[in-house]
Structure 1
Amino acid sequence: MPICPAPVRSLDAAAAAELTTVAAELLAEHGSATAPELLAVLPEACAALGEDVRSALRPVDTADGLFVLRGLGLDDAEIGPTPGHWSTVGGAGASWDVVLLLVSALMGTPIAWDGQQDGRFVHNIVPSPGYESEQTGASSSVLLTPHTEDAFHPGRAHLLLLCCMRNHDRIATTAASIRLAGLADEDIAQLKRPVVPILPDDAYEQAQQFTGRTAPVPALSGSGTGLTLRFDPAYTPIEDADGTWQEAYRRLEDELARVSVAVSLEPGDVLVVDNDVVVHGRVPFKARYDGTDRWLKRASVRVEGRPTRPAAEDDEHGYGQAALTAWAS
C-alpha cells in the first residue's frame, strides 16, 4: 500500500461493500444521483448503515484536521473516460456521487451552490481545455494556490471531501494545517484584523449574483492551538492592505508552505479536510485530454453546532445566503 503523509482511516472490506452496495441500490431505484427523491431518502439510508461504516465516517478528529478514508474499491474501466469538462460528465461515475453523498450525510449536512456546477451537491473536478492557467479546479499547468474552500462566503463548508476517481499520474493534492504553523503573536494579531475582503472565485459561472458589500474579513481567528483560518490569496486584494498586514500575510503563506503535505490519492480514496483548519491546493501537471487525466469528485459539508466560526460572520452581508442551498439531514 502506498505511503500516505496524511492520517489514514480504513474501511474494512465488509464496510466498504455495504456502503457501495447501498449507493448502487439508491441509484438504481431513483435513476439519477441528482434526483430530489434520492436526496430525500438519504437520512433513512444512512440510519440503516452498520456501526462499522458509521464509525469510520465520523467527522475529522485528527490533530492536524485531515485524513484519508481508504478501502473503497474502484474499477477504472467501469467509470469510463475522464470527461473534458464538468458539464459533460452526465451519469459517469454516478454511483460514486451517491457514495460521496452518503459519506457527507453521515458527517453532517451536504451543501450546494446555485452558481457552481448547476447547483449539484457533488462536483466533478477535471482539467479542461482553455482553463489551464486559472485558479480553479479545472486548471492544470499552474499551481492551484492553497486555499480555504469558498473562503469568500460565511456559509462555506466546515468539511471538504475529495474522492479520487482516477489519478494515473499520481498528481498530488496539497494540504496545510494552521495548527502546525509557527506564527509570532504579532503576526497572529495582525491577521485577526478584518482588513481586506475575499472575492468569489472564477468557478462561479453566475458570480454576478454575489453582489453587495464586500466586507473585509480576518484571515485568522481563535487563539493558540485553536487557530482557524479563512485564506484564499488568489482572490484576496492583498495590495489594498497596509504594509504591516501584508508582511504578516506573507509570513502566513510561508508557514503554510513549510508545513504542507502532498497527498497522491489512489482511486477510491476520499480526502477529508477541516475547512476551518486546513487549506488545500494541487501541484501543476500536464493534462492530456485523452480520457485518462486526473478526476476527482468533491462534496461540501456543514456540521451543526460546530463553534469554529467567528460570531461576526453571522452578521456578514457581503454575499447573499440565497446562493447557498442545503439538504438537511
Structure 2
Amino acid sequence: MSTRPAPVRPLDAAVVAELATAADALLARHGSATSPDLLADLPAACAALSPALHHALRPVDTDDGLFVLRGLPLDDADLGPTPGHWSTVGDAGARWDVVLLLVSALMGTPIAWDGQQDGRFVHNIVPSPGHESEQTGASSSVLLTPHTEDAFHPGRAHLLLLCCMRNHDNIATTAASIRLTELSEQDVAELSRPVAPILPDDAYEQAQRFGGRPAPVPTLFEGEDGLHLRFDPAYTPVEDADETWRAAYRRLEAELARVCVAVSLEPGDVLVVDNDVAVHGRVPFRARYDGTDRWLKRASVRVPGRRTRPAAEAAEHGYGQLALEAH
C-alpha cells in the first residue's frame, strides 16, 4: 500500500458558512431531508450559491482519482448514537443529508436506486449485526474489497461521495487509481475485452431478483481523458474466464494494491472518488454496536455531458435508477 497521502481540498470559512446556511434554509423550509419538495428545490438553491463555492466543489481533476473535502464542522454530540441499521436512522444527521445533497448537486446530478435503501438519495453506511462478513457497506469484520461502486450497472455514478459522521477508531477507507498503476500494453488490451460479467452485489434486492446472467463487460476502457476501469472482483466470476485473462486480472489487482492509499476520514470530511478512475474499499474492524461505531453518509453523482461509458454497454439491462436533475 502506498504511503502517499490523499489529496485534500480545504474549504475556507466563508464557503463553509454559505453552504451551511443554504442547507439550514432548505431543511427549515421543507422539514425533512427526504422531502420531494426539497429535492425539487435543489437546482434553485445551487444557482444562488457563489462562484467561489461552485469552484470549490468542482469534480475530481487529478490522476489520484479522489480528494478529501475538509473544513465542514461536525459536532459529535449533536448526532446521537450510531444506528444499528440504515433503516433505523430516521432524521438523525438530516442537516448533513442536505449538505451532502447540495455538494452532490453542485458536482453534477445526484442519483438514487429504487432497489437500495428505499430509493434515498443519501445512504447511511453503518455496521449492522448479521452482516459482518458480507461484501457490502454494512459489513465490518472482513476487508471490503476495493471496487467500482455499482460496477454491475451501466448507469453507475461518475462520482461517489462519502461523508464522515463518526470514526472514533480511525477506520480507513482504501482507494486506488487506475491512472497510477503500471500495466503492460498486453494486459490493458486483454482486460479491455468483454470476457466476464459483473454480478449485482448483495445490497440490491431488486437486482438479485433480475432474471438471467448479465453480459460480459470490459474491465478497462479508454475514456476521453484517459484509462478507466470497471472493477468488482468479489462479484466477478473470474473462474469462468480463460487463464490469459485471469492472469492479467491478477496483475491489475496487484497493481491497485500497490498504489492503494488509506484514508482515515475525520468527522465532517467528504471523500470524493471518481468512480471511473479509482476503486474504493475499507479495512476490517470490530463493530461494537454500542452507538459509537463508524458512520458514513453516501451519495452518488452523474456528471452531465461526461462520456465515459463504452458503447457496448448500451444494450445492458437496467435495474431501476432514479435521477434528480439538479442543473
Does the alignment reach a TM-score above 0.5?
yes
Match for residue 152 of structure 1? 152
How far off its partner does 1:213 sit? 4.5
Within a 5 Å distance, the mapping from 1:51-66 to structure 2 comes to 51-66=51-66
Q: 1:252 to 1:271 in 2, by over 3 A?
A: same
Between the aligned partners of 1:87 and 1:142, the Cα distance in structure 2 is 22
Q: Which residue type is aligned with residue 155 of structure 1?
A: G
The structural deviation recorded for 1:24 is 1.4
The percentage of counterpart residues that share the same residue type is: 79
Q: Which residue of 2 aligns with 1:324?
A: 321
Distance between the aligned counterparts of 1:298 and 1:5, measured in 2?
Answer: 22
Looking at structure 1, the residues matched to 32 and 205 of structure 2 have their Cα atoms a distance apart, in angstroms, of 23
Distance in 2 between the 1:253 and 1:200 partners?
Answer: 20
Asked if 2 retains the 8 angstrom alpha-carbon contact of 1:124 and 1:298, the reply is yes
1:105-184 alignment to 2 at 5 Å? 105-184=105-184
Q: Distance in 1 between matches of 2:86 and 2:277?
A: 28
User: How far did residue 212 of structure 1 move?
Assistant: 3.9
Q: Which runs of 5+ in 2 are unaligned?
A: none
Partners of 1:179 and 1:225 within 8 A in 2: no
Deviation, 1:206, is 2.5
Task: Note the C-alpha offset of 1:167.
Answer: 0.4
Give TM-score, length-normalised by structure 1. 0.96
Q: Which residue of 1 aligns with 2:244?
A: 244
Q: Which residue of 2 aligns with 1:234?
A: 234
CA distance in 2 between counterparts of 1:207 and 1:90 reads 25
Q: Hey, what does 1:311 align to over in structure 2? A: 311
1:266 equivalent in structure 2: 266
Q: Which amino acid aligns with 2:272?
A: V
1:143 aligned partner, one-letter code:
L
Counterpart mapping for 1:273-284 below 5 A: 273-284=273-284
> Within 2, Cα distance between the matches of 1:118 and 1:212?
24
For the aligned residue pairs, the C-alpha RMSD in angstroms reads 1.5
Superposed displacement of residue 4, structure 1: 8.3
**Deviation, structure 1 residue 223:** 7.9
Task: Tell me how far apart the structure 1 counterparts of residues 192 and 210 of structure 2 sit (CA, whole Å).
Answer: 24
| Separation of aligned partners in 2, 1:105 and 1:210 | 30
The answer as to 2:287 corresponding to 1:290 is no
Q: State the Cα distance separating 1:98 from its structure 2 match.
A: 0.4
Task: Classify the secondary structure of the residue corresponding to 2:76.
Answer: coil
Whether 1:104 and 2:104 are equivalent positions in the alignment is yes
Distance 2:207 2:309 in 1: 24
State the SS of the aligned residue for 2:45: helix
Instruction: State the AA in 1 paired with 2:318.
Output: G
Alignment TM-score, normalising by the size of structure 2: 0.96
Q: Using the alignment, how far apart are the partners of 2:100 and 2:191 within structure 1?
A: 35
What's the offset of the Cα at 1:28?
Answer: 1.4
- CA shift for structure 1 position 53: 1.3
Map of 2:42 onto structure 1 = 42
Distance of 1:211 and 1:153 partners within structure 2: 15
**After alignment, is 4-13 or 164-173 more displaced?**
4-13
